[in-house]
């Protein structure tokens, strides 16, 4: 064993010595040094898991992040022995392990280095707290950029930064505040056009240094537990994202209404105020699907109770709202009021469900209800109990839950002290190990309960804190942001970052939670949020009485805000299809430009532009009074959404930014399905699906997914997947369609609107049959509109015909 300098708090740094022995078992290999063991497990061609036992014994192999449905595809792999290394190979990767010191080098079969250890594994005794601090350091490759890590409010490229995960109630956070609410120990590296990812599955406080301490080293470590990480190769970053998401789990489809517009505030009460807000949406023809009840709906902030004075008839209220097309989501915090007359408290005490300090006293702390105790969600029995508590809420008609304060947040103390004990599914650990999964498991138990009691309906959950993998059961929002322009940019980068960290179902508090936006900021925020999977206005206007609703800023703004909420509802089939792509393949719904054009270095530091799904490129208007905005477009042709002007990509272009427009582009070649505007999802049956088709001379594929928008029929094949392929040339427009259909739609025909046709045809050929085009089919120069039956397979337009 080699030993370096020592310091008082942490012991000396230790490094592995040479490999003495090795063995193979199933799909893994173990390499033994004098005192330590490295395990290398081949999960897939492109996924290798590394575990390092610095003690010579592995800890329990247990994870709250990984999905148990990850299929291990049959793969070929093997081992070769070289003079200085062992080599484990798959069809795609070669992993070299140095005989001297266990340092890892991963290459492809051409010998291109993908990832390489700097010092590799090393560790220190954590003298003050016990256990070991586990490090791994890698070399930063030439030009390497780093991405990922959840909700960090900073530039997308993390090169030169050090960041950590320790869930924190970061009220009013700013750019570069760290850590925030979520704990996602997963990052990407990108160099020479090669992308890979590293998922460090460790729930202790984790720290990542991307060349900050030493320019040429990227290192990550944890204050306990095991060095246990997954290496995920691309080379495409989106493929890395998909693999990561499959490892940590894909979500179920949300109910379609959850993709509508959500209105929230701290707090809407009493019931008459809630009804008034709902009625205002309908009277003003502003679409909305969801209204939230923040903490004031409860009786003295006791979870699972109603304030009798403000909400005398919750069932009646929810029914009335439902008849107008609204769903109700209510907040539930982890703090349970210490109150001997309160059933939830009694049950928890009786069954020993609450967290305790090291010496057995209850973990008590003040939150909204006053003195509280906190369920130990790391205990499976407690999770069962917690799930069961949602029965009455579900039965009263509540359709979704909002989990807050689950970092966990405690007034004055900040969070739990480290000595608090947790079950950790039978392991019995301190808060040091359980902190980062406290909110994760609270939300898991909440989701399980709501799902159980809401069946056959789909349910909806939004949580503030979580660990890697929470996308399986919850959406998230970016927390307590501020009403200013910098936060509009932060909302955009945080949502992009969350999406590539496995959590696409995300949004920010539109307009800002703290403070008061003016009409312009609110409008620009609404525009951005049309392209966030979760679209919710929220504000902390309890004290000031300030209103943050679409109509709060005067008619000029209301008009534009309405236009964009309408656009959200028009785009629903596209958003939903993009969600299905995420739910089925793990593809992030939001894609930073570097993830869609990783061979173009000009995209590596882009933060303002991103793609939503395969076809739309968005940027937000980022300053007050902004007249135009410069945007980098990746290679290809792009239609400006509002006037069909075509721009060539691989360059920076400038577009005007009047208040009622925003930089929104459609990829040439794409098919963009649209619904008519409705005041809430599924208000009326769709009788004609609009397909906006953008002429392009490169082959482009598009997708339409459809199902009932609720229930689980899609799990039994009751859905439609329709794949479009445009393969046009300057003389011929050609759209092909392939489909799997097993769900009966309410419409029987499409209306196609073809944009940007470079010629004027006289007829359209649908499945070989010619139909003459009339003057009314020509909407404007280059824009044609005509109908086609739902099961068409090919549409052709020919120049001169
Ligand atoms: O200490 O429930 O982030 O969205 O409105 C504040 C009241 C507690 C913090 C959440 C915010 C919510 C608020 N909560």
388-420 as b/e, with b when 16 or more CB fall inside 10 Å?
ebbeebbebbbbbbbbbbbbbbbeeeebbeeeb
Report helix, strand or coil for 594: helix
- The per-residue pLDDT for 545 is 84
Find tokens 């793609």 and name the residue: 611
Question: Catalytic residue among 164, 294, 480, 710, which?
Answer: 480
The model's confidence at residue 41, banded by pLDDT at 50, 70 and 90, is very high
User: Are 766 and 795 spatial neighbours (Cβ–Cβ below 8 Å)?
Assistant: yes
User: Are 177 and 170 spatial neighbours (Cβ–Cβ below 8 Å)?
Assistant: yes
Ligand 1 atom nearest residue 267's Cα: 5
CA dihedral 286, 290, 295, 296 (to 10 degrees): 50
Pocket test for ligand 1, best of 404, 463, 482, 507 (most atoms within 8 A of CB): 404
Find tokens 């990227």 and name the residue: 218
Pocket test for ligand 1, best of 294, 298, 370, 408 (most atoms within 8 A of CB): 294
How far, in whole angstroms, is CA 729 from its chain's centroid? 37
> Beta strand pairing status for 590-592 and 609-612?
antiparallel
702: left (phi > 0), else alpha (psi -120 to 50), else beta?
Answer: beta
The model's confidence at residue 67, banded by pLDDT at 50, 70 and 90, is confident
DSSP summary character for residue 83: S
In the chain, ranges of CATH 2.60.40.1760 domains: 2-141+194-234
Give the DSSP H/E element, type plus range, for residue 439: helix 438-454
Ligand 1 atom nearest residue 513's Cα: 4
Per-residue pLDDT reduced to its tens digit, 178-236: 999 999 999 999 999 999 999 999 999 999 999 999 999 999 999 999 999 999 999 99
Concerning whether 313 is annotated as a catalytic residue, the answer is no
| pLDDT surpassing 60 at residue 153 | yes
Q: Is the CB of 294 under 6 A from ligand 1?
A: yes
Q: Is the CB of 407 under 6 A from ligand 1?
A: no
- The per-residue pLDDT for 11 is 82
Ligand 1 atom nearest residue 266's Cα: 5
CATH number of 259-335+381-411+437-582: 3.20.20.80
Q: Is the CB of 266 under 6 A from ligand 1?
A: yes
In the chain, ranges of CATH 3.20.20.80 domains: 259-335+381-411+437-582
- The per-residue pLDDT for 729 is 96
| pLDDT surpassing 90 at residue 4 | no
Per-residue pLDDT reduced to its tens digit, 44-62: 999 999 999 999 999 999 9
- Output the CA 390–ligand 1 centroid distance in Å: 20
Note the CATH architecture for domain 685-799.
Answer: Sandwich (2.60)
* Count of Cβ atoms closer than 10 Å to residue 66 Cβ: 18
Nearest CA to ligand 1 atom 12: 266
Average pLDDT over residues 21-28: 95
User: Measured between alpha carbons, how far is residue 103 from residues 16, 116, 141, 207, 235 in Å?
Assistant: 9, 8, 16, 20, 22
Concerning whether 216 is annotated as a catalytic residue, the answer is no
Higher-confidence position of 745 and 67: 745
User: Are 54 and 36 spatial neighbours (Cβ–Cβ below 8 Å)?
Assistant: yes
User: Are 610 and 633 spatial neighbours (Cβ–Cβ below 8 Å)?
Assistant: no
In the chain, ranges of CATH 2.60.40.1180 domains: 685-799
Average pLDDT over residues 487-503: 98
**HSE toward the beta carbon, residue 384, CA cutoff 13 A:** 5
Per-residue pLDDT reduced to its tens digit, 663-709: 999 999 999 999 999 999 999 999 999 999 999 999 999 999 999 99
- The CA-based diameter of the chain, rounded to the nearest angstrom, is 87
d(CA 6, CA 350): 48
Nearest CA to ligand 1 atom 11: 480
Q: Give the total residue count for the chain.
A: 801
DSSP summary character for residue 526: H
For 498-564, list the strands marked E by DSSP: 506-507, 509-510, 535-537
Q: Which long-range contacts (CB under 8 A, 24 or more apart) does 160-163 make?
A: 160/210, 160/211, 160/212, 161/210, 161/212, 162/207, 162/208, 162/209, 162/210, 162/212, 162/213, 163/207, 163/208, 163/210
User: Measured between alpha carbons, how far is residue 474 from residues 254, 331, 446, 471, 506 in Å?
Assistant: 9, 14, 9, 5, 9
- The per-residue pLDDT for 68 is 81
Average pLDDT over residues 751-772: 96
Average pLDDT over residues 256-267: 98
Ligand 1 atom nearest residue 294's Cα: 2
Q: Which long-range contacts (CB under 8 A, 24 or more apart) does 547-551 make?
A: 548/265, 548/511, 548/516, 548/517, 548/522, 549/263, 549/265, 549/277, 549/280, 550/281, 550/284, 550/286, 550/526, 551/280, 551/284, 551/286
User: Measured between alpha carbons, how far is residue 319 from residues 323, 326, 360, 588 in Å?
Assistant: 6, 9, 45, 35
d(CA 785, CA 788): 10
DSSP summary character for residue 375: B
Report helix, strand or coil for 451: helix
Q: Is the CB of 170 under 6 A from ligand 1?
A: no
Average pLDDT over residues 110-125: 97
d(CA 680, CA 257): 7
- Output the CA 359–ligand 1 centroid distance in Å: 31
Q: Mean pLDDT over all residues of the chain?
A: 96
Report helix, strand or coil for 461: strand
Ligand 1 atom nearest residue 265's Cα: 5
- Of 349, 451, 456, the C-alpha closest to 393 is 451
Six-digit token pair at 652? 């920076």
d(CA 695, CA 409): 52
Q: Is the CB of 209 under 6 A from ligand 1?
A: no
| pLDDT surpassing 50 at residue 1 | no
Per-residue pLDDT reduced to its tens digit, 309-331: 999 999 999 999 999 999 999 99
CATH number of 2-141+194-234: 2.60.40.1760
The model's confidence at residue 72, banded by pLDDT at 50, 70 and 90, is low
């Amino acid at each position: 064993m080699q030993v370096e300098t020592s310091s008082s708090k942490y012991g000396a740094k230790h490094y592995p010595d040479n490999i003495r022995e090795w063995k193979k078992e199933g799909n893994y290999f173990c390499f033994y040094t004098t005192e330590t063991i490295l395990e290398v497990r081949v999960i897939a061609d492109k996924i290798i898991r590394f575990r390092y036992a610095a003690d010579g014994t592995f800890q329990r192999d247990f994870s709250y992040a990984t999905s148990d449905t990850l299929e291990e595809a049959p793969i070929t792999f093997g081992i070769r022995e070289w003079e200085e290394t062992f080599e484990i190979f798959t069809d795609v990767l070669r992993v070299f392990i140095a005989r001297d010191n266990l340092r890892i080098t991963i290459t492809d079969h051409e010998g291109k280095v993908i990832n390489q250890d700097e010092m590799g594994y090393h560790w220190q005794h954590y003298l003050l707290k016990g256990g070991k601090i586990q490090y791994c350091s890698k070399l930063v490759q030439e030009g390497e950029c780093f991405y990922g890590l959840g909700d960090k409010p900073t530039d997308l490229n993390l090169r030169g930064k050090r960041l950590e995960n320790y869930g924190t109630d970061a009220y009013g956070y700013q750019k570069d505040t760290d850590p925030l609410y979520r704990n996602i120990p997963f990052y990407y590296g990108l160099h020479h056009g090669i992308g890979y990812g590293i998922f460090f599955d460790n729930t202790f406080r984790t720290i990542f240094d991307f060349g900050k301490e030493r320019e040429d080293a990227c290192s990550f470590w944890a204050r306990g537990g095991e060095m246990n990480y997954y290496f995920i190769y691309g080379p495409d970053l989106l493929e890395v994202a998909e693999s990561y998401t499959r490892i940590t789990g894909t979500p179920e489809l949300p109910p379609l209404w959850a993709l509508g517009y959500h209105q929230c505030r701290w707090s809407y009460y009493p019931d008459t105020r809630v009804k008034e807000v709902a009625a205002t949406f309908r009277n003003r023809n502003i679409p909305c699907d969801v209204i939230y009840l923040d903490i004031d709906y409860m009786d003295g902030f006791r979870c699972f109770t109603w304030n009798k004075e403000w909400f005398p008839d919750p069932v009646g209220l929810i029914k009335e709202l439902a008849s107008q097309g609204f769903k109700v989501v209510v907040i539930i915090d982890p703090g349970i009021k210490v109150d001997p007359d309160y059933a939830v408290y009694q049950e928890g005490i009786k069954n020993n469900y609450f967290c305790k300090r090291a010496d057995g006293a209850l973990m008590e702390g003040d939150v909204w209800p006053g003195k509280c105790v906190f369920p130990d969600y790391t205990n499976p029995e407690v999770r069962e109990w917690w799930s069961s508590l949602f029965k009455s809420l579900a039965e009263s008609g509540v359709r979704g839950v909002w989990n807050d304060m689950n970092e966990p947040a405690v007034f004055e103390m900040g969070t739990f002290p480290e000595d608090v004990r947790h079950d950790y599914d039978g392991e019995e650990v301190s808060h040091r190990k359980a902190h980062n999964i406290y909110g994760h498991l609270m939300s898991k138990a909440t989701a399980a309960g709501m799902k159980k009691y809401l069946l056959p309906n789909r349910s909806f959950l939004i949580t503030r804190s979580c660990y890697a993998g929470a996308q399986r059961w919850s959406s998230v929002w970016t927390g307590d942001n501020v009403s200013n322009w910098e936060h509009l940019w932060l909302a955009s980068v945080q949502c992009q970052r969350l999406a590539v960290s496995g959590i696409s179902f995300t949004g920010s508090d539109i307009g800002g939670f703290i403070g008061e936006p003016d009409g312009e900021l609110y409008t620009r925020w609404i525009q951005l949020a049309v392209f966030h999977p979760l679209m919710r206005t929220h504000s902390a206007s309890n004290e000031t009485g300030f209103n943050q609703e679409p109509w709060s800023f005067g008619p000029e703004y209301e008009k534009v805000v309405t236009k964009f909420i309408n656009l959200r509802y028009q785009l629903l089939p596209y958003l939903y299809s993009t969600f299905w792509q995420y739910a089925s393949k793990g593809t992030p719904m939001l894609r930073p430009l570097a993830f869609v054009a990783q061979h173009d270095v000009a995209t590596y530091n882009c933060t303002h532009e991103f793609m939503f799904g395969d076809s739309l490129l968005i940027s937000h208007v980022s300053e007050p009074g902004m007249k135009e905005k410069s945007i980098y477009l990746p290679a290809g042709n792009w239609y400006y959404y509002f006037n069909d002007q075509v721009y060539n990509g691989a360059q920076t272009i400038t577009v005007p930014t009047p208040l009622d427009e925003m930089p929104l582009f459609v990829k040439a070649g794409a098919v963009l399905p649209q619904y008519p505007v409705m005041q809430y999802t599924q208000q009326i049956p769709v009788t004609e699906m609009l397909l906006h088709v953008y002429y392009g001379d490169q082959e482009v594929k598009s997708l339409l997914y459809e199902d009932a928008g609720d229930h689980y029929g899609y799990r039994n094949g009751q859905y439609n997947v329709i794949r479009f392929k445009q393969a046009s040339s300057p003389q011929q427009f050609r759209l092909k369609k392939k489909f799997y259909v097993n769900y009966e739609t309410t419409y029987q025909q499409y209306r196609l609107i073809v944009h940007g046709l470079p010629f004027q045809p006289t007829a359209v050929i649908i499945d070989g049959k010619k139909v003459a085009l009339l003057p009314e089919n020509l909407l404007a120069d280059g824009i044609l509109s005509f109908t086609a039956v739902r099961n068409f397979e090919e549409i052709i337009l020919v120049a001169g015909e």
